[in-house]
Structure 1
Amino acid sequence: MAVKTVLRVENVSFRYEKENVLEDVTFAVPRGAFLGLVGPNGSGKSTLLKCILGLLKPQKGNIFLFDTPITSFKEWHRVGFVSQKANSFNTGFPATVYEVVASGLTAKLGLFRFLSPKDKQAVFDAIDAVGMSEFSRKNIGELSGGQQQRVFIARAIASRPELLILDEPTVGVDVHHVQNFYNMLEELNKGLGITFILVTHDVGTITEKVTHVACLNKHLYFHGGAGEFAQLQKSDLSHFYGHHLHVLSHQH
């Protein structure tokens, strides 16, 4: 029987010394969902990601990936992660787009394995999926921040993960290209069936692109469908965030 829930977070709490960062957080992400995780700075989003990725162990609660407790989960090739790399990438790094994307298969194949024709095709397919085919032989350092971030996403999807986590992926992306970037994520979610968790401050985008929303500020203040989130009053959002919130829409 196929796993219907990709991620389950159950009553998770985490603290750094005496500071509570997460308090009894519970939610689930169904297969094929596009979840937007929003919240103010210091709300615990980064800590929650580290717990989901197995980098931190909660003091309380449990996390399950594909119905397996994270403490015994071994199939990390099923999970992809893209950080805010484009904002701090070393532009002098001597590697082509193809080479960067191909490196995403290392964890799955092993460090010294040569790529088979099927593997090479998977690399080209990933590059094509993010609209970067014409740049495949370009040096990564010659690209804009937005193009680099597309390459990092291609690197993450080359091994065909079932869950892809994106931490503020539009950092370093030119504001004029942000909408196209989100359109690409939406197409990858629908076209490849990858389950997404998108961490963002861009609340306006949440209601237009994602299927589900989780609003975190130490506690989980909201978890539900994007349509339900869009119906919330500004006063509700301000309560979640702890300050007045101005919601911008990216629709044109």
Structure 2
Amino acid sequence: MTAKSIIDINQLSYRYEKDTVLEQINLAIPEGSFLAIVGPNGSGKSTLLKLILGLLKIQKGEIYLFGEELSKFKDWQKIGYVSQKANSFNTGFPASVFEVVLSGLTKKVGMFKFFKKEHSQKVMDALTAVGMEKFSNRNIGELSGGQQQRVFIARALVSDSKLLILDEPTVGVDAENVGTFYQMLEDLNKKRGITLLLVTHDIGTVSDKVTHVACLNKHLFFHGEAQEFEKLTSEGIQDFYGHGIHLLSHHHH
């Protein structure tokens, strides 16, 4: 196990009744990296995230978080998680952007404790990190899908997370805003040193922002640096997906 891995996965397999979804996955995610996990629908991506987050029980293999075995890991405030479901948020919910992000501190501060000035500062810092500080007083329901998603990322960051896990975060984000959304994630990774684990279908859009790519389809077909991934031929990717795929690369010069 490398000392600097934030997540270490060894020989991980998982099945739902008769269907094996993950088979002998070995994956080390270094601190400070930005990893995109890609794969077709039903390839086990969401199952892998649920296993890492302790939402599913490990059947075979092992997972270490920050060097500690998953079953013994308690320091969950180090990990921020933004699910796909963040986009199906109840828009009638009467809370301001500030309050939604502040709710990310309840684990640290306690449910009914008074929030201090330093907590307000933390909320504003988290909102600034995702470019949403001007919206702090706005009702969460008034925001677009992409803006809401940024707020949920701020909520995940507010407790000083070292690792941010995002499951298809651009579902519900307008196509023209996807690029700036990924730019914001790259800034979180490069400027704030947050390790990012992203499940995505947008591999062409994100390939020049991430540091590493993992291709998952029950097995781990590829895991390496983004530049190595870009050298893969379309035939190689086609074999992995089981059908043709149009790989677009968006290098912004």
Deviations along 1:141-167, one digit per CA (max 9) or x if unpaired, are 000000000000010001110110000
Residue 213 (structure 1) aligns with: 213
Taking the aligned partners of 1:235 and 1:114, their CA distance within structure 2 comes to 58
Residue 164 (structure 2) aligns with: 164
More deviation in 112-121 or 158-167?
Answer: 112-121
> Does the Cα contact within 8 Å between 1:85 and 1:149 map onto a contact in 2?
no
1:45 pairs with 2:45: yes
- Give the C-alpha shift of residue 120 in structure 1: 1.2
Write the letter of the residue equivalent to 1:225: E
Write the letter of the residue equivalent to 1:74: K
Residue 55 (structure 2) aligns with: 55
Change (3 A) 1:111 1:3: farther
- Alignment TM-score, normalising by the size of structure 2: 0.97
Residue 7 (structure 2) aligns with: 7
Taking the aligned partners of 2:64 and 2:86, their CA distance within structure 1 comes to 30
Residue 133 (structure 2) aligns with: 133
Where do residues 5-84 of structure 1 align in structure 2 (5 Å cutoff)?
A: 5-84=5-84
Residue 189 (structure 2) aligns with: 189
Gaps of 5+ in 2: none
Residue 88 (structure 2) aligns with: 88
Residue 249 (structure 1) aligns with: 249
Task: Give the alignment's Cα RMSD to 1 decimal.
Answer: 1.2
> Does the Cα contact within 8 Å between 2:87 and 2:148 map onto a contact in 1?
no
Q: Structure 1 residue runs of 4+, over 4 Å off?
A: none
Helix, strand or coil at the partner of 2:118: helix
Residue 105 (structure 2) aligns with: 105
- Give the C-alpha shift of residue 251 in structure 1: 3.6
> Does the Cα contact within 8 Å between 2:6 and 2:30 map onto a contact in 1?
yes
More deviation in 114-123 or 21-30?
Answer: 114-123
Write the letter of the residue equivalent to 1:69: E
Taking the aligned partners of 1:121 and 1:145, their CA distance within structure 2 comes to 25
> Does the Cα contact within 8 Å between 2:146 and 2:170 map onto a contact in 1?
yes
Percent identity between the aligned chains? 63
Helix, strand or coil at the partner of 2:208: helix
Gaps of 5+ in 1: none
Taking the aligned partners of 1:84 and 1:54, their CA distance within structure 2 comes to 17
Taking the aligned partners of 1:157 and 1:191, their CA distance within structure 2 comes to 14
> Does the Cα contact within 8 Å between 2:182 and 2:206 map onto a contact in 1?
no
Taking the aligned partners of 1:58 and 1:86, their CA distance within structure 2 comes to 25
Taking the aligned partners of 1:21 and 1:223, their CA distance within structure 2 comes to 18
